[in-house]
């Protein structure tokens, strides 16, 4: 009877003690979160209660399972399993704590900083740092798990001796992966592109949605996702519309007739922009940029605080200017000129007209009926 009760007491006591400690810790963090609502640290730490309780339970079982005589036959195997679980849970808890600390630091910086470009830069750096930390902790945890096996410890010397050759082979085999990883670090700390930046890559306009150590995702205006290696941004030219500030200047080109009222078009452009909430009021203008035998090209210029507002201003100006020209000045729209050309003074009109008449008969001959 004692051989049955002792394991139950050890396991049940460990689980009960874990639940009590976990509940008390969670209650303390909840009170701290309510008292310090200006920081998200305690709320983020509360999300790590599952790995925290798993570490507590595994540590208690690992320290007291020797007392359960029922498991004496499988004592070594059970101890190794508990050790592996403890290492994995500790790595999980360490990643959660690091993420909570980093996210809290970023939120404080974002509240104190008024420049959105710097906030996006720090967001990019924080994201990549957390990925590096998670990878390092994961590698260390896996290595620690492997070292718990005696065969792995015995092979440690030979592994270290061949580490140089294996490193060279792995470096050659993973050359593109390593280049992308270094490119990701260069992007994060070189401030080349940030999460939330508006970019144009390969003729596609979109917003940077995610940056990892190996790839970058751009969300286009039609909600497609373009995934490309981060080495693209370190080896090729691309447009970053958010670099140096989000303010932008846009243009709208119209082809109109040479008789179009330019002054009236400037006044109408001013009225359209004043009624458009997306216009930031910095600048506007309308000038003739080109001329052809049949039309002239007019460029309307306007500004906006970011690329999204600039798109709204451009489409609004284009639509309303065309509508205004159609309603108020239809003669200013492009048309095919089929009128007689204005002849220069002194041109012999009479001679030309008589010649024309000689070549054009007054009546057309009637057609003969076909024979049956």
Q: Which of 224, 240, 256 is the last residue of a domain?
A: 240
CA 54 to chain centre: 35
135 lies in a domain? no
90 lies in a domain? yes
C-alpha span between 304 and 301 (Å, rounded): 11
Domain identity same for 89 and 189: no
Alpha helix (H) residue ranges in the chain: 2-35, 41-46, 49-64, 75-112, 116-147, 150-154, 156-161, 163-173, 175-190, 232-235, 262-275, 307-328, 349-359
Stretches in the chain below the pLDDT threshold 70: 1-7, 10, 65-74, 115, 117, 151-191, 244-246, 337-339, 341, 347, 349-372
Token pair of 105, please? 């630091």
Domain containing residue 223: CATH number: 2.30.30.60
Is the full-model pTM beyond 0.75?
Answer: no
Domain count of the fold of the chain: 3
| φ, ψ for residue 257, nearest 5 deg | -75, 160
The confidence score (pLDDT) of residue 212 equals: 75
The confidence score (pLDDT) of residue 310 equals: 87
Domain containing residue 255: CATH number: 3.30.70.100
Domain of 193 in residue numbering reads as: 179-240
Domain identity same for 289 and 316: yes
C-alpha span between 337 and 8 (Å, rounded): 100
Reported as half-sphere exposure (CB side, CA atoms, 13 A), residue 370 has a value of 1
367 lies in a domain? no
Domain identity same for 26 and 107: yes
122 lies in a domain? no
The confidence score (pLDDT) of residue 273 equals: 92
Q: What is the DSSP letter of 69?
A: G
311 lies in a domain? yes
216 lies in a domain? yes
Domain identity same for 99 and 8: yes
Q: Note whether 304 and 279 are within 8 A (CB).
A: yes
C-alpha span between 64 and 86 (Å, rounded): 14
The confidence score (pLDDT) of residue 4 equals: 62
The confidence score (pLDDT) of residue 184 equals: 66
Closest by CA position to 285, among listed 263, 316, 308, 255: 263
Domain identity same for 226 and 307: no
């Amino acid at each position: 009877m004692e051989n049955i009760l002792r394991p139950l007491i050890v396991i049940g006591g460990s689980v009960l003690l874990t639940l009590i400690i976990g509940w008390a810790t969670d209650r303390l963090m909840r009170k701290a979160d309510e008292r310090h609502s200006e920081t998200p640290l305690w709320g983020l730490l509360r999300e790590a209660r599952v790995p925290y309780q798993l570490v507590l339970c595994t540590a208690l079982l690992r320290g007291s399972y020797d007392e359960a005589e029922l498991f004496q036959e499988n004592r070594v195997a059970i101890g190794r399993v508990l050790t592996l679980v403890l290492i994995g849970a500790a790595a999980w808890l360490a990643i959660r704590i690091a993420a909570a600390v980093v996210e809290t630091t970023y939120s404080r910086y974002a509240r104190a900083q008024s420049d959105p470009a710097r906030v996006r830069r720090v967001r990019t750096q924080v994201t990549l740092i957390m990925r590096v930390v998670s990878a390092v902790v994961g590698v260390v945890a896996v290595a620690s798990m492997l070292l718990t096996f005696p065969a792995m410890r015995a092979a440690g010397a030979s592994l270290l001796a061949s580490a140089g050759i294996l490193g060279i082979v792995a470096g050659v085999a993973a050359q593109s992966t390593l280049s992308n990883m270094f490119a990701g670090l260069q992007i994060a700390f070189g401030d080349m592109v940030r999460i939330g930046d508006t970019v144009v890559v390969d003729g596609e306009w979109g917003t940077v949605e995610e940056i990892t150590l190996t790839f970058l995702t751009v969300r286009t205006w039609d909600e497609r996702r373009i995934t490309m290696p981060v080495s693209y941004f370190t080896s090729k030219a691309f447009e970053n519309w958010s670099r140096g500030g989000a303010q932008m200047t846009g243009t709208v080109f119209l082809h109109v007739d040479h008789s179009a009222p330019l002054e009236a078009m400037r006044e109408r452009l001013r009225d359209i922009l004043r009624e458009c909430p997306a216009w930031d009021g910095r600048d506007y203008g309308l000038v003739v940029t080109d001329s052809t035998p049949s039309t002239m090209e007019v460029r309307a210029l306007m500004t906006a605080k970011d690329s999204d507002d600039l798109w709204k201003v451009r489409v609004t100006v284009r639509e309303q200017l065309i509508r205004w020209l159609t309603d108020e000045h239809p003669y200013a729209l492009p048309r095919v000129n089929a009128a007689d050309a204005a002849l220069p003074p002194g041109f012999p009109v009479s001679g030309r007209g008589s010649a024309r008449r000689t070549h054009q008969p007054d009546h057309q001959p009637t057609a003969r009926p076909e024979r049956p």
